[in-house]
Amino acid sequence: LIDLVSTDSGNRAANKNYVDSVAQGLDVHAACKIRAQSNVNVASPGATLDGISMSSGDRVLMDLQTTVTEDGIWIWNGAASAMTRAADLPLGLSAAGAFVFIQQGTDDGKGFVCTNDVPNDIVGTHGLTFSQFSGAGTFIAGNGMVLVGNTFHFSTSGTYTVGDMFYASAASGSA
């Protein structure tokens, strides 16, 4: 069988992505445009979040709220309009295993999963912890290194410190 749609019934065939997500214990949700990098005023969120211009209906993962019961997936309704909870992760729902992919901003290309355990995972009741589960851009080049795509290159010129060690080199190029 090829080109199966996502299943919504117990008597339909399931595609591989659905089976893989269930096998991993994930509850896959629609992607969010951004993941907020700090507290967002849900009553009046402003026109940009994480440096990205927002449009009505954009989904936002918020897991760094000062009021932790505001953690979860929200819908942006306008710069001066109150945000609303996403219909697929509403108040009172268990969020354990909720997985969401981020499309833009600082966390572009990364997936996050709610790591709260049942019964401490109720939207609007508990603070929700979303941890990075997958994604591009997972690696960061340290001192003396350059990351190009998925390949690290070591710099052979310049000076840098790694831990308590100081390095200096006059050579040029990369290894």
pLDDT of residue 30: 96
Question: Which of 78, 102, 105, 91 minimizes the C-alpha distance to 29?
Answer: 102
Check residue 56 and give its pLDDT. Answer: 98
Q: pLDDT tens-digit profile of 26-67?
A: 899 999 999 999 999 999 999 999 999 999 999 999 999 999
Task: Yes or no: say if 48 and 54 are a contact pair by the CB < 8 Å rule.
Answer: yes
Reported as a single tens digit per residue, the pLDDT across 92-138 is: 999 999 999 999 999 999 999 999 999 999 999 999 999 988 765 56
Helix (H, G, I), strand (E, B) or coil at 74: strand
Say yes or no to pLDDT of 149 above 70: no
